[in-house]
Amino acid sequence: MIGLVAVQAPASAEPGDPKTPAELRQRITTSSHQLEVVVERYNLLRDDLRTTVAQIGVLKRQFAPLQAKIGAHQERIGVIASAAYMASGTAPVNALLRADSAHTVINNLLVLDSLARDQHSEIASLVYLRHQYESAQQTLGTLIETGREQQKQLAADRARIEGDIAQLQRWRNLSVATGSATVTRKGDLRIGWIKPEVTGAQAKVLDFALAQLGKSYRFAAEGPNSFDCSGLVTAAFKLVGVTLPHHSGRQFEKVKKIKRSQLRAGDLVFYYRDLHHVAIYIGGNRMIHAPSEGENVRVDLVDYQPVAGFGRVPTPASPPGKK
C-alpha cells in the first residue's frame, strides 16, 4: 500500500495553482472527489484481475486430469487393436479363412464387430477429450493475456493515482500555509450518538467500524492500519465470515436493497449515482466511512453527500440457541 509522507516545509504556489483561497478550497474539494472515483475504478480493475488469476488456476488444475484421461483412452485403444489382431490375424478376412464351420465364422465376426464398436467409442471419446484440452489451452492463453493487460493498466492507474495524491497533498499544504483551509464539519458527530443495542454479526460489524476511527485513508487498503471506503466495508464483513468485493459498486450488487426507514446498525449506505463511495450505518442518522485521501476514518451524518441507496449484507445465521 502507498504511504504518504507529510510535507514539512512550507508550501509555495506554483504556476497553474488556484489564485484565491476560495479557488484553492474548491480545487481541493473537486480533486478529492475525482480521486475517489479513480480509486474505485482501480479497485474494480484489481478485483477483475483477481478473478482472472482464479480462473487461470482453475484451468491449470484441469490439465492433469484431462491428460490422464487422454492417456487412458489411448491405452485402451491400443488394447482393443491388439485384441482385434489376436482374434483375426492381420485382417478381418483371416477370421473367415481360418474358420472351420459356419458357427465359428459367425462368432468371429461378432467378436470383431464388438471390438470395432469399442474402438470407435474410445476414439470418439479421445477426440472429444483432445478438443477439451485444446480449448482449455486456448482459453488459458486468452486469460493470461487478459491478466497481463490488466496488470499493465493497474500499474498505469497506480502511477496516476500517486501523482494525483501528491498534487492534492501539496494543495492542502498550501491551503494551510496561506490560511485558506476551512473546517466544514461541525464538531465531533459522536457526541449525542447512542450506541444501538445489537447482537451477532451486526454487533461485530459495528464494533469493528468503531475501532477503526481515526485510522488513515489509503487507496486500495483494507486494513489493518489504513482503509479506503470499500476496503473498510470488506474488512468489517470479513470478520463475520462474509467475503465482499473490494469495490463499492460490486458491494451494492451483493446487498439486499432496503429503504431508509429500514436502516439498522451494520447496514451499508451508498453514495453518488455511480456508487463510488460506501459507508457503514451505525444508527442515529450517522455512519462511519473512510472519506478520501488525506483524511481519517470518521463519523458523519448519513446525508453528508448524495445518497444513492441502502443495502443489507446477508450474514451467516447464528448457531441454534445463540443470537
Domain of 210, CATH number, reads 3.90.1720.10
pLDDT value at 97 more than 50: no
Query: What is the share, in percent, of the chain residues with pLDDT greater than 90?
Result: 30
**In this structure, what C-alpha cell is assigned to residue 219?**
487507496
Same domain? 210 vs 288: yes
Q: Let me know if residue 5 belongs to a domain.
A: no
pLDDT value at 25 more than 70: no
- Own/partner long-range contacts of 118-127 (Cβ < 8 Å, ≥24 apart): 118/80, 119/77, 119/80, 119/81, 119/84, 122/73, 122/76, 122/77, 122/80, 123/77, 125/73, 126/70, 126/73, 126/74, 126/77
pLDDT value at 99 more than 60: no
Same domain? 162 vs 210: no
Cβ pair 299, 282 in contact under 8 A = yes
Domain limit, last residue, from 177, 210, 243: 177
pLDDT value at 100 more than 60: no
The pLDDT of residue 271 = 95
Which residues are tagged catalytic?
229, 277, 289
285 or 133, which is more confident:
285
Give the mean model confidence (pLDDT) for residues 266-275.
Answer: 94
CATH of the domain at 102: 1.10.287.620
Same domain? 35 vs 167: yes
Q: Let me know if residue 182 belongs to a domain.
A: no
d(CA 52, CA 151): 11
Same domain? 135 vs 214: no
The pLDDT of residue 71 = 72
**Band (321; pLDDT cuts 50, 70, 90):** very low
Residue 110: strand, helix, or coil: helix
140 or 209, which is more confident:
209
Nearest to 225 by CA among 237, 216, 236: 216
Same domain? 303 vs 269: yes
The pLDDT of residue 53 = 79
Q: Let me know if residue 260 belongs to a domain.
A: yes
Same domain? 162 vs 225: no
* Per-residue pLDDT tens digits for 55-66: 777 777 776 776
Same domain? 142 vs 206: no
Cβ pair 236, 205 in contact under 8 A = yes
pLDDT value at 302 more than 90: yes
The pLDDT of residue 153 = 77
pLDDT value at 127 more than 70: no
Give the mean model confidence (pLDDT) for residues 11-30.
Answer: 62
**Highest mean pLDDT of the ranges 98-112, 197-211, 306-320:** 197-211
Q: Is the pTM of this model over 0.75?
A: no
Mean pLDDT of the chain: 75
Strand partners, 217: 227
The pLDDT of residue 285 = 92
42 or 286, which is more confident:
286
Number of domains the chain is built from = 2
Q: Which DSSP helix (H) or strand (E) runs through 168?
A: helix 102-177
* Per-residue pLDDT tens digits for 208-248: 999 999 999 988 889 899 999 999 999 999 999 999 999 99
Same domain? 41 vs 169: yes
Range of the domain at 169: 21-177
The pLDDT of residue 179 = 59
The pLDDT of residue 295 = 86
Give the mean model confidence (pLDDT) for residues 26-51.
Answer: 75
Q: Which of 13-17, 248-252, 291-295, 313-317 has the lowest mean pLDDT?
A: 13-17
Cβ pair 257, 311 in contact under 8 A = yes
